Structure 1
Amino acid sequence: MKNYMFLLFLMPLLSNCQADIKVTASKYPAQVGDINFDKKIDDPDFKRCIPENKHGYQYYNDSKGFQYKGEKLAIIRNLEKENIQSSKDINGYVTIRFVVNCEGKAGIFRMKQMDENYIEKELDKSLSNQLLDFTKKLNGWIPKEIDGQKADYYQYLTFKIEHGKVSEILP
């Protein structure tokens, strides 16, 4: 009797299962966060070392983590020399994400901005353009080897803005 009652309750569940599943091409990237080349905004001379249809690595995918000649301190010192700041009293974050290829060259830059409450919004166009130009000029990225092969990887810099000035660089 118990088995009969169990089947009675199980039947509606089984009858709702769909056997026909259509497979369609996805409009989403192969990996979350992949950056695709855009000929309108990206440097055509920048070349990836691995095909775009193969996933890229993140900067933390090996035991070495963040890799820049002189480490993050060198980036901070370069930023201090530039004296980049806004004329507005703004607070928030500017994140610039990009690809470092197997030669240590950076390209395919993307930028996001948000206020101090993590709500996406443009903070100050002049400040964000200065930070993007600064990031594009950084030339000390160290190529990565993952599983014995040279690899492209995604890197990002987040600039914390307090009262119109960069107060911290993450990661």
Structure 2
Amino acid sequence: MKRKINIWLLVSFVIAALLTLWIYLKLNEHVGDISNDSAMDSAEFSPCSDYRILQYYQIGTYYQGGKKAIKTELLPKIKTDGLPKNGLLTVRFVVNCQGETGYFRTKMIDPDLKDVATPIEASKHFYGLISELKGWVPGQIEGKPADSYAQIAFKLEEGKITDIF
């Protein structure tokens, strides 16, 4: 009788532990993770793996020529129509293992650090400009190219972009 109870308790414990681990892995999202949103994201873009997407600084993702090259390519093309006069617009996105970009998300704050709604058309304009940048070099994990997040911030002053970083 005692043996049956011990076996039952052991099996119950193993099942509970496995269930807890499974729930943890399913629900464990990291701050800032971007999930695919079919209403927003292009069907043409997809990450190369199902593995968690890492941050650019964890695996060394960069743009050829650095931020200076990004500024040179983007500044002449940027239109700030529909955006507030002052603030900071951050576009966060994924660079996949082939150097393609997608899963764009926008956040804007005003000079008082309060969230500002970004008009959809303005967001799409910035997404289009960033997707035209073809110099992304994906980071690597154990010598293999990997997906990672990247971001570009635009500083607006008096209705004009004064800095890109």
Rg (Cα) greater in structure:
1
Q: What letter is aligned with 1:49?
A: C
The unaligned stretches of length 5 or more in structure 2 are: 1-15
Q: What letter is aligned with 1:112?
A: K
Following superposition, the deviation at residue 91 of structure 1 comes to 0.5
Tell me: CA distance 1:47–1:131, structure 2 relative to 1, closer, same or farther (3 Å). closer
Tell me: CA distance 1:163–1:89, structure 2 relative to 1, closer, same or farther (3 Å). farther
State yes or no: 1:85 paired with 2:80. yes
Equivalenced residue count is: 147
State yes or no: 1:102 paired with 2:82. no
How many percent identity over aligned positions?
34
Following superposition, the deviation at residue 168 of structure 1 comes to 1.1
Name the SS for the 1:39 alignment partner: coil
Tell me: CA distance 1:125–1:45, structure 2 relative to 1, closer, same or farther (3 Å). closer
Q: TM-score, normalised by structure 1?
A: 0.73
Per the alignment, residue 138 of structure 1 pairs with 133
Following superposition, the deviation at residue 69 of structure 1 comes to 1.8
How do 1:1-171 residues align onto structure 2 when only pairs under 5 Å count? 23=20, 25=23, 29-51=28-50, 54-62=51-59, 64=60, 67-86=62-81, 90-122=85-117, 127-170=122-165
Name the SS for the 2:63 alignment partner: coil
Q: What letter is aligned with 2:86?
A: N
Q: TM-score, normalised by structure 2?
A: 0.75
More helix by share: 2
* Kept in 1: contact 2:78–2:126 (CA 8 A): no
- 1:111, 1:87 → 2: CA distance? 14
Tell me: CA distance 1:29–1:137, structure 2 relative to 1, closer, same or farther (3 Å). farther
